[in-house]
Amino acid sequence: MLSSVSALAPKANSGAQPQVKLSDLLLKENIYAQFWKINDVQESEVMAESYFKHLSPLVGVYFDFNCLKSEEFLRKVSEQKLFRQHFHWLIYDEKSDFAKFHSLFENFNMAVDADVTYAFPNPAIVNGPQNMSYLTYDVYNNGLYLGGKLNMTGDEEVNCSPKGCERKRYLSTLHEKTRNENRWLLGDITMRVATVTTYLPLTTPPGKILDFLASDDNKNRDAIARFGYAYIMILKDNMGCQYTHNYTNTWSVTEATGGVVGQLGMDQSADISSSPFLISKLRLHYVKPTMPLGNFRQVCIFRTPRNAGIRGEVYLEPFSGRVWLIFSGIILLIGFVLWITFVVEYHQLRLYLNFLPSLLSSCLLALGSACCQGSFLVPKSTGGRMTFFSLSLLTFIIYNYYTSIVVAILLGSPVKSNIKSLAQLAESNLDMALEPIPYTKAYLNFSKLPEIRSLVRNKIQTKKDPKSIWLPITDGVRRVRDEPGFVYVTESYSSYSLIENTYTAKEICDLNEILFRPQEILHEHVNRNSSYIEFIRYKQVRIFESGVHRRLQGIWVRTRLPCYLSSGALVQVGLEYTAPLFIMLACVYGLVFMLLVLEVLWHKYLDNMGLMARIRGAAMGNE
């Protein structure tokens, strides 16, 4: 609904009666009105500042086409692009000079969002002061600067009397649809597209560039640009227009200049971008997003280094420290009870035993039973056997619980690195490379995040040849697979499909991911003041609702890498888990060997002491 009207007419003292009537009608509808004398327009006057500067988003403009300077005024309006959706123009021609109006407006700068109504008295009827008949025409151009032609379509015939006005008939089917639906196809214009390719050099023939962007093989090459190109080609079919391409190899050189952003914004040499890109506060001064197309994820991927740390704690994780202490105490207590049982059986019950086990042997028997290894010596008495049975039952339950947890951990997800953030990665000693993409280079140069500055300082500036940090995606993904601990910074659109085709299931599950930059949404963009914003949005919503958008996303967009190891695939337990067992075994055997040597030396010492005692005894007997 209109909240204000600007009436542009001849001198205020000439024919003021119609202006008074118009003002009364507007005031009854609570619409604010301003009247301007367009015959006083100066050559250097800025129309938007002088006549159309208003806080209301919708302004109605009533214009008298028969003013002395009407043509000059309308040319200035055209130059300043004021025939647009924010201004609802009603241009009245008392002389009904349709040919003059058409010849004047066919070269005016209008676009598909123009809201211009041309009204004039019906020349087929003799009008009198009591009854007047008017014809109205909808006037627009799909885009003069894009090759569009003027379109004037009859809308209504209106009869007016002192009591009011009423519609007599429709002159066309315009009333059956909305304004955008009536202008659904743009077959007479050629839109300028800012077309991005980072894989091919800009010196490549345009035909080869377009063939590459239209193909869907080798999805790791320039995936975002090709996804966006496939999307705008569907948009082209929906709009019915043609495209001309302006090629570039980056989103922007600085945040808001150069590349696609510069063509859409400051240069205004393009109407729409072929590649979606990220929104920023500064870019919103020049471009405007129309439709989100997917998430942009740049990640640091690497396989867990085999020297990332020995995971011996896995064998202690099933029980807490308190449980381990209580269980150890129970084993010692039962070992002591078994020793008492053997003593009683040997001395008091006179049960047949070849020897009396020591306290240490009884504790070892209890430990062997706890480990489900059985025992070569079992008490003969009923009470002793009940003690041994309770020990076996308790340890059987605990042993099965313990082994199931350990097996689940060992055969579960592969061990992950303890490097979880970009800051930790920047301080680590892991080797690193980046995919040579222009927007990655720009991000490294202009980002002020401390972790990015640390990464540049520690990983790039310390290299003898800083250019060696840039590695093609095929080589980078291969080195990540073959060299655990090598870090590669890449974009998920390009790398995920390549990884799925070249990695095994275990290698995929072994990957670690760290976000290189915050995850953001990619949007399709147009110029901030484009006349096609709402029109393109309608088309994109239509594409989204038809399911074509989802199909394109299924082809080009990968949000995560699939890990299917939990579905029954064979899992190998790595050295990081088994090394603690081997080390413990080596330490125990080393200790056993040392004890054996000490025991041999001790027995030799005892034998020597006995020999010396016998020698001394013999010597004393000889005396």
Instruction: Say what the pLDDT of residue 621 is.
Output: 64
Q: What is the bridge-based pairing of β-strands 432-434 and 287-296? A: unpaired
Average pLDDT for the chain: 80
**pLDDT tens-digit readout, 298-330:** 899 998 876 545 555 666 666 677 877 877 787
Instruction: Say what the pLDDT of residue 119 is.
Output: 92
Query: With bands split at pLDDT 50, 70 and 90, how would you rate the model's confidence at 205?
Result: very high
Structural fold of domain 313-411: Helix Hairpins (1.10.287)
1-183 and 313-411 agree in CATH topology: no
> Which residue ranges make up each domain of the chain?
1-183, 313-411
Q: Virtual CA dihedral for 397, 401, 403, 407, nearest 10 degrees?
A: 160
Q: Which of 369, 370, 438 is nearest to 398 (CA)?
A: 370
Instruction: Say what the pLDDT of residue 56 is.
Output: 61
Flag whether pLDDT at 501 surpasses 80: yes
What element of type H or E holds 298?
strand 298-303
CATH assignment of 1-183? Answer: 3.40.50
Contacts of 496 (CB under 8 A, 6+ apart): 558, 560, 561
Please state which of the ranges 122-136, 215-229, 355-369, 503-517 shows the lowest mean pLDDT: 355-369
Query: With bands split at pLDDT 50, 70 and 90, how would you rate the model's confidence at 411?
Result: low
Tell me the C-alpha distance between 334 and 394, whole Å.
Answer: 11
Flag whether pLDDT at 136 surpasses 90: yes
What element of type H or E holds 609?
helix 575-622
Flag whether pLDDT at 345 surpasses 90: no
Instruction: Say what the pLDDT of residue 101 is.
Output: 92
- What is the pLDDT averaged over residues 592-612? 77
Flag whether pLDDT at 10 surpasses 50: no
Most confident among 36-40, 87-91, 574-578, 614-618 (mean pLDDT): 87-91
The token pair at 375 is 């025992």
Q: What DSSP assignment string belongs to 412-470?
A: SSPP--S--SHHHHHHS---EEE---HHHHHHHHH---HHHHHHIIIIITTSSSGGGGB
- What is the pLDDT averaged over residues 461-484? 87
**pLDDT tens-digit readout, 548-586:** 888 888 888 877 887 765 544 445 555 555 666 667 767
- What is the pLDDT averaged over residues 416-420? 81
Instruction: Say what the pLDDT of residue 170 is.
Output: 92
- What is the pLDDT averaged over residues 464-469? 82
Q: Which of 156, 86, 148 is nearest to 118 (CA)?
A: 156
Instruction: Say what the pLDDT of residue 153 is.
Output: 92
Contact 158, 175 (CB under 8 A): no
- What is the pLDDT averaged over residues 383-410? 71
Q: What DSSP assignment string belongs to 160-229?
A: EETTEEEEEEESSSGGGS-HHHHT---TT-EEEEEEE-SSS-TTS-HHHHHHHHH--SSTTSSHHHHHHH
Q: Which of 103, 96, 190 is nearest to 143 (CA)?
A: 190
